[in-house]
Structures are given as C-alpha cells and as structure tokens.
Amino acid sequence: MNENNFKFLYQNVDKLKGIGPKKASYLRNLGISSVIDAFYILPSRVIDRTQDIDFRKLEKGQIITTSLKVKKHHYPFNPKLPYVIECSKGKLVINLIYFSIKGNFLRNKFPENKEFIVSGKVSFYKSNIGIAHPDYIEEIENEEKLRSFENIYPLTRGIHLKDLKKIFDFGKTYIGKYEEWISGSILNKFNFHSFYESILKLHFPENNEDVEKKELFRKRLAADELISNYFAIRYLKEKTKKKDDSLDLDFSSQKQLLGKLPFKLTEKQKTIIEEINSLNNSHYRETILLQGDVGSGKTIVSLLTAVPFVIKGYQVAYMAPTEILANQIYENLKNLIQLDEINAVLLTGSTKNKDVIYQNIKDKKYNFIVGTHAIFQENLTFNQLKYVIIDEQHRFGVKQRLILGEKGINTNILLMSATPIPRTLALAQYGEIEQVVLNEKPAFQKPIITKVSNTEKIKDLIIYLRKSITDKNQIYWICPLVEESENQSYKDVESRFKSLQKVFGSKVGLLHGKMKAIDKENIINEFKSGKISILVATTVIEVGIDNKNANTVVIENSEKFGLSQLHQLRGRVGRGNEQGYCFAIYGENITDVSKERLKVFKNNLDGFQLAEKDLEIRGTGDVLGYRQSGDSLFKFVDTMNDQELIRECFDYVKEVISNKKFEDKEYQQKIYQLLLFFKQQEAIKLLFS
C-alpha cells in the first residue's frame, strides 16, 4: 500500500460509476463520503449463498442458490394476486413469485425455456416450493460468482446493497499488503492475522472459516484503530512538551475569590482545584478530564482554575455544548468571578458583529471567551490562548486537539464530562489523560425522591402539581419529541404544552431545540424569574440549566431514555435547599429491559454506578451521548468486550513513545500507512515536520 493508493481510497464516492451526487448524499447518512469510509462499516450478518436444494434440510426462510429453467408465466386475473413464474429443476416445480411488478417486464427479462441461476429465500406456495422476489437471478455463466458468502450491511433510504458493493469492489484494489506495525506479543496473544487479510476477509468472506473468524478480524482492526488513536494522542503530547519548567502560574487571586463566593465550596471541590492547579503547572501541556456527578459543582471549579491564566496575561476559552448553557456560563462568570483583569465575551452561532469580536480577540481586548463550537472557527485567531475548558458532551476528540496543536495553540485542555465515563471507556477515548473525579455534592442538597409509574397516573400527577406549585417549587416536564410523529408513539412537547395550558394557563412555557436562540433565552429567563411555573421541554435542558427553585421534574416516556440521560434530567432539580422530586412516566409498550432500567434508575442516585450500568445496557455511543447525532466513537472497537485489548494497545504505544521508536525511519513508514488508513493526517504532519 502506498500513498498513491490512498488518492483512490480518499476519492469521493460521487465520482464512482453508478453512484453520482444523489446517492452520495444518501450515503452520507451511513457516514460514507469517500471510498475508505465504507471499509469502516461492519457487516451486520453474512448470507451463505453456496447452498443448493437439499430436501433433507429444506425449511421455510432458508437461503438457496440453484439453477432453474423457466417453464411458464402465470398472469394474475386479480391485480392483488401475485405474478408467478413457474420453473423446473428436473421433475421439481419451483415458483418465482412477484407482487406489484408488471408482467411484461418479467416476461421479457426471463423468457420461457431459458435457464438461470436463482438465489433467494425459500417459501411454500400452493404446495410447491416458492421464492418470493428472489435476491438474484443471473445468467448461468455467473453461477460461480453468485455461489458465495454475501455480507449484509446497515442501509439507509435510497441506498441498496449493490451500491455498497460497487464501493467495496473499487476500493479493495487499492488495499495492499505492507509491513506489520503491531508488536509480536500482541499478534501472538490474540492470534491476529495481518491487517490486509483481516480487512479483506471481513468484507469479502470466501468460506465458512472466514465467516466464523469475523469477530477475530474485527478485533484485529480494533487494535489498529486503537494504536492509531493512541499514537496520535501520545505523539502530540511528546511534540508539544513544555520547554520551560512550568507556566509559573500565580494562584493568589484564585484563593481570594474562594472567600468572596456566595456559597461555600465542598472540601472535595477545593481538593480538585488544587489537583488541576498542579497539573496546569506541570512540564507538559496537559489534557485533564474532570468527571463529576450531576450537581457536584464542576462549573465553578472550572471557572476558578481559569483565573490564574488570565492573571498571568493569557487567554482562556470555554466551549459549551449549547447556546443555552453558554449564556448561563457567561452569566456565572460575570456574577461569581468578579475580577478587574477579566474581559469576557460571549460568542455563539447567533452572536452579532462577529468580525469585530474576532478582531478584539486577536488584539487581546478579550481574554475570556465563552461560547459554542463557534469559538474554534478557522477565521478566529487567538492571542496567547493557554487554557481551554470544554464540556465533554460536545464532541472534541483527537482530531480537534491535533488541529489546535498544528496551529501552535498548545493549550492546556480541561474536558468536563456531563456524564461520568467508566475508566476503560475514558482510556479508549482519550488514551493517557489526567483524570480527576469530583464525587461529593454540597451538603445542603437533599437526595432526590424518584417515583416510577405508567401513563395512567398522569391525571393524578397533574392534580398533585396544582397543589404543589409555589414560588419555591417550579416544574420541568420533559417529552422525547418536539412534534407529533406518525412513526413513534412517544409524547411530543407541543401537544403536552397545549394540554397543560388548559389546566395552568399562562404559567406554562415551551422550550425545544428548534426554537430561535433569542426565544430560548427569553423563556429560560421567564422560568428563572418565576413568571413561568412549568417548563415543558425536550432534552435541550439536559445539560447545565440551573434554576434553584425548580424542584420537580416529570419525564414522560422515560423508557425512551438511557440511564445516564435520565440521571442528567433528574439532576436539573433539587439544586437548592428544598426537597427534589422526579416522576418517571413510562408508556404502554414498555419492554422488560426498559422496566429493569427504570428500576435501576429509581433505586440509584450515584451517576458513576449508573454510567457503568448504562454502558452494559446501551453501549459506548449512548453513554457518551453520540448515538443521537449518528456519530459513533469508534469504527471497530467494542469497549465492553475489548477491555484487555484496550490496555495492551495503550501500553504498546506508551512503550513506542518512551523508547522514541517513532524516530526510526523504518517504523515511521510502517506507522504512516496506519495513520493514513484511519485519517490521522494531523499526526502525519507532525511526524514528518
């Protein structure tokens, strides 16, 4: 495999014959933009098309591939009846059955007395063997090609299996054999095949043995993916090592602010601040993961750790996952961190006069920038940005960190997890990262009381809410959908908003992600001021909205949500001195798995334990909150079942970096191919700079 081959693997799929721009737009729903992207998709199952008819084993639903001779076309008298092509195999009659297809087309395509090779699922029609809508009908000379093992992949609207096959058939030509980069000990321990053999046999199985080894091939590719990920992270850290002893930060202003806060920090918060201070003053530019349960006070910790950077004359950026939270952080910064040295600005997608703000940031007139992803636009230039705080739920992976490194913005990064992340998953995602855990809540917060019941209890619940609404008890009412859907039986916010308005009148407000930023801000301000008593919302309120007077949350169709998401929603209430209540309401069609999940939720208030359970039940993407956006964290890695492999690959890369093996030209060429395959261009630029 050489770099020229990658020109073809990186080629956009719309350039391929038979794909074109329209299909390319559909393929993007599967995460496929270029040819190489198709090879990241795992087959969901394999169909064995090598089996002919065997009467001893024949059963309904079985896939057979056999040669048939067309005998007669039977036109239906009633258009609701199927069109039948009667075929023979020796003395045996086998019918090919079609619904809603014009007979003229079928008669011309499959003329009588001609022999074809047919593959499809067995059914029984009028006491004869039938194949309804065969998967394939090919000329006899294509029999050997058709008698094969066929991978089935997840599809999307407008895309058929044959479209993916075109991409695979084109791409496999450019995947060649090359030298091994994985250590012999890992290869032997897991009995791995080569990368070349694993990627091709995964996507082009030739026999039963290949099918049975599907999991082994996946695991080998998972090792490659982990090593490319870890190498990029560790190499970045090595290249951006601090030359001076430390930033020599001054923490005196930070300590003075502790005494001016309108509330007391917990001992754990103070300890965490000290730990982060120490890491920020280390010899490396650190990436720190601050994990904290709901309501543990991560935000104030992060803001206080930023103060020494501003005092030293550096810039700080805080990236929030939503505009709502960015606005709230900005207000907290102004109200709680009152220092003359801080010149803050809010920068989100709806901010006006961006060009003026960009120039002021470049000129260092602003030294604390709070915003959404807008703060990392290409045309924004910082002036001595040294500290970046990022809410972990907004995806900020290896690639983004490498881009910052490439720009020379070698900042310290504080990642804050909205959901506690199990240790192995954190290792898989971030590699070697400094982790600090905030697992103590303020003493004044009372444990939230959680009730679980079905939709029949909603009338009783509304009666209870009418009695309990006061200035000190406002209510969130969460629904999974924005508007009514024919495909899903879940409740939507708009119809729930209207039904609650009939009972509570103007005391009800509506909030969802499709609203304009200014409308969202107005509704939140009305809720905080007490003008609105009940806020009907989607999960847009999941992260960060802080209203000390909101003490009740109703989660409708709670079976729709994962444990961590339920815990985040529950964490919106009981943030003051009053007792908090959570009512999880489930729908009629709840599954046994969902019932068990709600039972675990009701009986457990610990976010870390719930995160471990959620990982078991739902998998990686959901725990980290990526599944909703169609983004999965890894292509090949299974974080639940690959825990030993995760540690082995991490230790191997650690050894490569500490022994400076990456300086060896021969090793560089090997790792170069791997980095190209997993699109780690930023790491490649650093490696060969």
- The pLDDT of residue 621 is 45
Q: How far apart are CA 118 and CA 53, in angstroms?
A: 11
Whether residue 186 contacts residue 649, with contact meaning beta carbons closer than 8 Å, is answered with yes
At 29-45, the pLDDT tens digits run 888 999 999 999 999 98
Whether residue 95 contacts residue 125, with contact meaning beta carbons closer than 8 Å, is answered with yes
- The pLDDT of residue 546 is 73
Q: Residue range 455-467: average pLDDT?
A: 88
Q: Which CATH number fits domain 50-147: 2.40.50.140, 3.30.10.20, 3.40.50.460, 1.25.50.20?
A: 2.40.50.140
Burial of 187 (0-12, 13-18, 19+ CB in 10 A): middle
Q: Residue range 363-385: average pLDDT?
A: 86
Whether residue 402 contacts residue 234, with contact meaning beta carbons closer than 8 Å, is answered with no
Q: Residue range 670-684: average pLDDT?
A: 82
- The pLDDT of residue 422 is 65
At 558-581, the pLDDT tens digits run 888 888 788 888 988 888 778 889
Taking alpha carbons only, the member of 227, 224, 232 closest to residue 636 is 224
Distances from the Cα of 629 to the Cα of 187, 514, 633, angstroms: 35, 15, 11
- The pLDDT of residue 112 is 93
Are the folds of 298-438 and 449-604 the same? yes
Which pLDDT band holds residue 615 (cuts at 50, 70, 90)? low
Tell how far CA 626 is from the center of its chain. 2
Q: Which CATH number fits domain 298-438: 3.40.50.300, 3.30.379.10, 1.25.40.20, 3.40.190.10?
A: 3.40.50.300
Which pLDDT band holds residue 120 (cuts at 50, 70, 90)? very high
Asked whether the predicted pLDDT for residue 49 surpasses 70, the reply is: yes
Asked whether the predicted pLDDT for residue 69 surpasses 90, the reply is: yes
Counting residues of the chain whose pLDDT is more than 90, the rounded percentage is 29
Burial of 396 (0-12, 13-18, 19+ CB in 10 A): buried
Of 73-87, 127-141, 305-319, 377-391, where does mean pLDDT reach its minimum?
Answer: 377-391
The structure's pTM equals 0.65
Question: What are the φ/ψ torsions at residue 55 (nearest 5 degrees)?
Answer: -65, -20
Q: How far apart are CA 451 and CA 307, in angstroms?
A: 41
- The pLDDT of residue 541 is 67
- The pLDDT of residue 626 is 36
More confident residue, 21 or 564: 21
More confident residue, 443 or 147: 147
Q: Residue range 576-593: average pLDDT?
A: 86
- Which of 56-60, 177-181, 366-370 is the most confident on average? 366-370
Contacts of 482 (CB under 8 A, 6+ apart): 492, 493, 494, 512, 513, 514, 538
At 266-307, the pLDDT tens digits run 899 999 999 999 999 887 778 888 988 777 888 999 999 999
In single-letter form, the type of residue at position 511 comes to L
Q: How far apart are CA 96 and CA 103, in angstroms?
A: 12
- The pLDDT of residue 368 is 95
Asked whether the predicted pLDDT for residue 663 surpasses 60, the reply is: yes
Domain locations in the chain as residue ranges? 50-147, 298-438, 449-604
Asked whether the predicted pLDDT for residue 469 surpasses 70, the reply is: yes
Tell the CATH topology of 449-604: Rossmann fold (3.40.50)
CA angle 561, 565, 571 (to 5 degrees): 130
Q: How far apart are CA 133 and CA 152, in angstroms?
A: 17
At 161-192, the pLDDT tens digits run 889 999 999 999 888 787 889 999 999 999 99
- The pLDDT of residue 549 is 85
At 320-357, the pLDDT tens digits run 877 888 888 999 999 899 898 999 999 988 888 888 99
DSSP state of 394: S
CB atoms within 10 A of CB 468: 12
- The pLDDT of residue 117 is 94
